[in-house]
Structure formats: structure tokens, C-alpha cells
Amino acid sequence: MTRIHISEVGPRDGLQSIGRVAPLEAKKAWIAAEAAAGVPEIEVGSFVPPSLLPQMADTAELVAFARQIEGLAVAVLVPNLKGAERAIAAGAQKMSLPFSMSETHSLKNVRKDHAAMIAEIGAIADLVAARPEAARPHFEVGLATAFGCTIEGPVDEDKVVRLAAAAIEAGAAEVGLSDTTGYANPTQVKRLVRRVKAEIGADRLNTLHLHNTRGLGLANALAGLEEGITTLDASLGGLGGCPFAPGASGNIVTEDLVFMLEAMGYETGIDLEKLMQVRAIIAGALPGEPLYGFVPDAGLPLGFAQVAA
């Protein structure tokens, strides 16, 4: 039986796209409830300047809170070296740096071109390496807009492969492929996963970050699984998008993803009934905010038997 690792990104990718700021206590309740449902990893926030994203101003407090939850891997997004320094000081166990394959998007998102981003990856890798081995966070580079960009349009796959190799050479532990704009299709996912793995090694690409903007999120996830992907990002209720990629709404819904995997016989370790109950926390904290998901609306089918959580 294959185990698929689910990384919940809603408290970061979901909430950063919402104008309102969710209360700190509601975020804590969300994180605790998902962990209790068996979600193994949660991206609790990002270390960006509060002036840019006030929704993420309490990330250090959330890291400290989440670190107290036994068995939970605590992940954060960092946009640069300064963010990585703050993440390490807070005690984050995993850091993900967004590296846009579209240089135009990179300049809008983190205000750096590709050469500057490679240098930043190297600086963060050196920072991690300087820590005692037991205290080093896992450093992943997310290859954003890998499947297309709302600003530039198509992104050359040769460039994605080349920059993936450059990120590993600069010191990243692994890379992930991100469909930031919801442009990907299953054939494209399979082809690009295969090409990047061939270039950097199968063990250096394990993660897909997918959006359901055009309804292909789960199909793309399945395509990734068929190419050996073992970690999938998702957001409870389908919250999320990129503030610097217009129209790039909708992460894949965690509840729908877990249902698909469990129905297919994959193991996630997540109790689906408990997971769906977490939606009430978000609905209470952000009344009127749309929440998506077919399974929560339709319910579990009669006779559905989940792999033991």
C-alpha cells in the first residue's frame, strides 16, 4: 500500500489570498483540528513583511504553537534570506522558497530575477548548513509558474529543467513543481515531472502544488502519482491563490483529494470525517468566505470504507 503525504497549505496559501485577516485563535484551532484528523504536515504561514501581507503577521506565533503538536511537521514559506532567518529563529521544520520559472512573475512576486534567486537559494542553503544537523530545517524550492504564467503565458520546459538543476546545485534539498496559475494539464504534468526527475534525480522531486482554477487539479494530481510523486499540497475548502498572479484562484480541495486517494486504495493517515468537520472553524472565522469541495457537499458514498487512519 502506497502512503501519500498531504501537506495542508490553507493557513498560508489560502489565507494570504483573502482580504480579511483571520483571528489568531481561529488559525490555531484550524491547525490543531487538522493535526487531530491526521494531517501530517501544515504550512502555517509565511515570513513576509506584514506591510505586504498582514494576513501572515502572526506566523512566528503559529510556528511556536504548531511545534507543540506531537507528530506534526511545521512548514512555512520564505521569500528570501531574511525570511529564512526568521523562520529558523521561530523553529520551523520545513522552509519552502518560491522560485518563479516566469522571470516576470518572479520580479512581481519577490522582486528578484533568476540570477538573484539562484544566489538567494545558495545563501539560504549556507544558512541551513551552518546549523547543527539536528536543528536544520528541510529546505525545498518550489518551482512556481512551472506550467504557465498569467503574465508571460507558456513557460519553456527546458528552462524549468535547467532552473531545477540550478536550484539543486545551489544547495536546495529538493524542488517541487507548482501550478501557480492553474494552467497545467495531466499530459504536461507527467512530461515535466519525468523530465525534471531525469535531470536532478528521482529523490529530488517529490512534491506537486496544484491549483484547480480550470477544474484539472485532481486529474493533475493523479498524473503526478503515476510518475512517482508522493507529496501533494492542498487547501481545506479550496482556499487560496497567488496575489501576484491575477486569476490564479483555487488550490485543490484537501477533502476531495483525500477522498480520491482513499477511494483508490492509497493510504493518507487522515480521518476524512474529522477533516470535513474542520470546515466549520473557517466558516465561523470568515463568515461568507466561499468554501469549495464536492465531497463535503455530497457526503461520503454509502459503504465507503477508508484505509485505516
Cα distance between residue 180 and residue 199, in whole Å: 22
User: pLDDT tens for residues 61-82?
Assistant: 999 999 999 999 999 999 999 9
Average pLDDT (203-225) is 96
Which amino acid does the sequence have at 278?
V
* Nearest CA-CA partner of 231 in 40, 95, 80, 100: 40
The confidence score (pLDDT) of residue 167 equals 98
Which contiguous run of DSSP H or E holds residue 207? strand 205-209
Q: At a CB cut-off of 8 Å and minimum separation 6, what does 34 contact?
A: 8, 42, 236, 275, 278
User: pLDDT tens for residues 225-246?
Assistant: 999 999 999 999 999 755 554 5
Which grid coordinates belong to 8?
495542508
User: pLDDT tens for residues 123-172?
Assistant: 999 999 999 999 999 999 999 999 999 889 999 999 999 999 999 999 99
The confidence score (pLDDT) of residue 192 equals 98
pLDDT tier, 303 (very low <50, low <70, confident <90, very high otherwise): confident
Contact 146, 179 (CB under 8 A): yes
Cα distance between residue 54 and residue 58, in whole Å: 8
Higher-confidence residue: 1 or 217? 217
Cα distance between residue 242 and residue 35, in whole Å: 25
Mean pLDDT in the chain? 93
Q: At what angle do helices 157-170 and 114-129 cross, to 10 degrees?
A: 30
The confidence score (pLDDT) of residue 245 equals 47
User: pLDDT tens for residues 166-196?
Assistant: 999 999 999 999 998 899 999 999 999 999 9
Contact 42, 66 (CB under 8 A): yes
Cα distance between residue 110 and residue 112, in whole Å: 6
* Nearest CA-CA partner of 275 in 17, 8, 75: 8
| Half-sphere exposure (Cβ direction) of 32: Cα atoms closer than 13 Å | 11
Determine what percent of the chain is predicted with pLDDT higher than 70.
Answer: 96
Domains defined along the chain, listed by start: 5-298 (3.20.20.70)
Which grid coordinates belong to 277?
468537520
The Cβ of residue 99 has, within 10 Å, a number of other Cβ atoms equal to: 29
- The neighbouring-strand residues paired with 138 are 94
User: pLDDT tens for residues 86-130?
Assistant: 999 999 999 999 999 998 888 887 888 899 999 999 999 999 999
The confidence score (pLDDT) of residue 100 equals 93
How far from 116 is each of 81, 100, 213, 232, CA to CA, in Å? 11, 12, 30, 28
Alpha helices in the chain, H assignment, sequence order: 24-36, 59-66, 81-90, 103-109, 114-129, 157-170, 186-200, 217-226, 254-263, 272-277, 279-285, 294-298
The confidence score (pLDDT) of residue 308 equals 57
Does the pLDDT at position 261 exceed 50? yes
Helix, strand or coil for residue 210?
coil
User: pLDDT tens for residues 277-297?
Assistant: 999 999 999 999 889 999 999
Does the pLDDT at position 45 exceed 90? yes
Cα distance between residue 233 and residue 201, in whole Å: 21
Cα distance between residue 193 and residue 230, in whole Å: 12
The maximal CA–CA distance of the chain, rounded, in angstroms, is 54
Please identify every residue annotated as catalytic.
242
